[in-house]
């Protein structure tokens, strides 16, 4: 078995996010659009100490989003039934992904990782924007993300919320 880092991460994670779940979705919320804009401006840069959650913290704080300052990045949504938008935040816990490519089997583990949805592709796959990965190190980069190769673990998808007065 050969192991690859995040640069080769092709999570088959999006079957539950599949195209059918994206059909009929409203436009991306304005707060989410601003989150993607801010995160994208940090591509190839290190945010904070370079930990994965530093990017989420920066964009949530910059936008004035309502969050607990720890791990509750907004309202939890059901990624299997609700639309997933760019700017939503995904928390991975004890996730293991395995996939095959020709004669090789690849494996990736994310014990505890935070990423932002950068783009939802027409086929239901997602491009993540995140840091502290094998491919990009402690700098912000993007990675294709699919769910069908997820063998264990849990993901939580959060919809960022504006502060209420």
20-50 pLDDT, tens per residue? 346 778 899 999 999 999 999 999 999 999 9
Q: Which residues contact 23 (CB under 8 A, 6 or more apart)?
A: none
- 22: its two tokens: 């994206």
φ, ψ of residue 22 in degrees (nearest 5): -90, -20
Domain edges within the chain: 6-162
CB 3 within 8 A of CB 99: no
pLDDT confidence of residue 82: 92
- 165: its two tokens: 């007065």
Q: Give me the torsion for CA of 71, 119, 107, 100, rounded to 10°.
A: 160
6-24 pLDDT, tens per residue? 433 333 333 445 433 467 7
- What distance in Å separates the CA atoms of residue 139 and residue 67, rounded to the nearest whole number? 24
The topology (CATH level 3) of 6-162 is endopeptidase fold (from Nostoc punctiforme) (3.90.1720)
61-118 pLDDT, tens per residue? 999 999 998 889 999 999 889 999 999 999 999 998 887 888 998 888 889 999 999 9
- What distance in Å separates the CA atoms of residue 65 and residue 40, rounded to the nearest whole number? 17
Q: What is the pTM of this model?
A: 0.83
Angle (deg, nearest 10), helices 30-40 and 52-63: 130
Measured in whole angstroms, the distance separating CA 20 from the mean position of its chain's CA atoms is: 19
């Amino acid at each position: 078995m050969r192991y690859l880092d995040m640069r080769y991460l092709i999570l088959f994670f999006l079957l539950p996010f599949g195209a059918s779940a994206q059909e009929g979705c409203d436009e991306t919320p304005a707060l989410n659009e601003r989150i993607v804009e801010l995160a994208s401006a940090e591509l190839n840069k290190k945010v904070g100490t370079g930990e994965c959650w530093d990017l989420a913290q920066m964009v949530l704080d910059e936008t004035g989003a309502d969050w607990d300052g720890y791990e509750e990045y907004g309202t939890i949504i059901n990624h299997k039934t609700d639309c997933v938008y760019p700017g939503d935040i995904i928390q991975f816990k004890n996730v293991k992904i395995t996939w095959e490519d020709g004669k090789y089997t690849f494996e990736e583990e994310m014990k505890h990782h935070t990423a932002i949805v950068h783009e939802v592709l027409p086929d239901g796959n997602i491009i993540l924007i995140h840091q502290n990965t094998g491919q990009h190190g402690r700098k912000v980069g993007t990675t294709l993300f699919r769910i069908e190769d997820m063998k264990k673990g849990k993901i939580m998808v959060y919809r960022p919320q504006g502060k209420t007065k």
